[in-house]
Structure 1
Amino acid sequence: MKKIVIALGGNAIRSPRGDGKFESQFKELMIFADSLKKIVKKNHQIVITHGNGPQVGDILLQQDLSKDYVKPLPLAVCDAQTQGQIGFMLQQALLNSFQKSGIKKEVVTIITQILVDRNDSAFSNPTKPIGPFYTPGEAKEFRKKGIKMKEITYRSFRRVVASPRPKEILEIEAIKNLISQDMLVIACGGGGIPIVEIKNQISKIKNYKPIDAVIDKDLASSLLAREIGADILLILTDVKNVFLNFGKRNQIAFKTLTMEQAKRYLKEGQFPPGSMGPKVEAAVEFAERGGRTIIAHLRDFSLALSGKAGTTIEN
């Protein structure tokens, strides 16, 4: 029996080429669920994490279109909404699939907060684009309110927020307890809800508050995998392998990478930030603790676990 963390990419659930409809996303998750039940039957302990980029982008766009009628919610609340949204979809897809096969397995989603350092250098240089595109005039108005904006393409601006490193998963003990009760746990959705610690100088009691940021889902998944003592971190995305010279005529697909090779290619800039970079970085961090990471396409899930697809990274 192995303990496996499976990280689903938000773009793998809803491809940018897809129509974005609930039914389309649910169909992708049903395909995943039908593959997962083969692993569940082997009594492996499973924890699922997921991205939320396209989904939280939809919520931010909805808020922007209705801002004259309904007050927009903070980014942290939007993150929490997607944890509930995608968690529900996963729970239902898994339960439906399990029931068809006579599998008795409880599935639970836990809203997850992740502590970040308010002094993380990412806060002094926000780079993570979120939400819809805006005109120069709209961007100017946002800047007056203290909101960071960046020109993404000519005269098209997006809001940018920090992407700090995850430090601590607040609900980690609850997650461990649920795993020990043989439940399939869905946690750390969208990289977790970013929070910072506030200490009362008089009582010394710790409090927490949300902060506008986006934690990388793969780095959060790697932290979770290390904290629960997982054997395998399976990162499912919308490409089949880790590639050298990706998108070029001379691109090469890796079947395996050592930790040292992965570090070297990261240093050379082979894996771009915001796409494959954090995935390989997450794999390196997990490998340093003796874990094995597999990066593969969502549809190749079963093949990847049996070593027949994707890229395996370990020490």
Structure 2
Amino acid sequence: MSRAELRYDGRVAIVTGAGSGLGRDYALNLAKRGASVVVNDLGVDTRGRQAAEGSESSAQAVVREIESAGGKAVACHESCATRAGGAAIVQAALDAFGRVDILIHNAGFLRNGPFESLTDEQIHSIMDVHLLAAFYVGQPAFAAMKQNGYGRILLTSSASAFFGMPWQTNYAAAKLGLAGLVNALSLEGQAHGINVNALLPTGSGRLGKGDSDMDWPDGLMASVPAGMELIAPQMRNEFVTPMVMWLVNERSKTTHGYYSATAGRFSRIFIGAARGWLSDAMNPPMPEDIEEHMAEIDDISRYDIPLKVFDEFEPIVAAQRALLEGKGD
């Protein structure tokens, strides 16, 4: 059975951090399938160090590669980590191509370290490029998308945020903040044809190279599961980019989601609320009651996935109604 190719003809995409690694792959694949691409990259390494003066920037190299293959792209070296820079990135898209349809916020670097030792620079620089940049580029991009009644926004989160990783408290906090942004912004985008999702990727970008701040506590790697050699061949960009291409395509109606693309396994990640324990409505519980019912509170055999704040109330109302009607279990 033949499948219709996913295309992006007439669409304009902004990719932050597109000078290398995963971002480069996203930009190249979008352009190959018809999109006009703004290749945004500040031209620094994973420690934030500037490239040699006078040399071709990584963004320019990607643009050259796209254009040599017959595609359309422009380089933008503005910083997504400032409000002025974010506005300039979006303006570059509008000036070059007249619209914005897709935003992939992929830019980032690491400042690993033990929690108690993190400096203001290690905290703020991570918050700026991962979390605040999603606002600085996202706000003007969202406004442009609203005017057209269409948009696809994909923010790069991380397994470190959802599942935890020592010495990455700054990074994890910023990346989980993006999940909150997805939750709220997806609701705002519904009326305007704008889908908003997050990706938890495992690829071969600069963050895994030796020149990055990949400091870890001693012995951490001893906890890596046995058998990693079985999945190592799939821990490449080629096993991440297809998920990205789908989520930002017009045919995808998915929104308000987080998706993992890890070692060839593609999976939805979700935040749920266990059914828990419902206390007596007429008698507020004591701390000892919480202790007594912790097994029920922790039981995740039954759960709901609220998609907005009010959704969390529905099963509680249903449970309370069942108790009042004598049907509680």
More helix by share: 2
- The two structures have a TM-score, normalised by structure 1, of 0.41
- The two structures have a TM-score, normalised by structure 2, of 0.39
More strand by share: 1
Q: Which has the larger radius of gyration?
A: 2
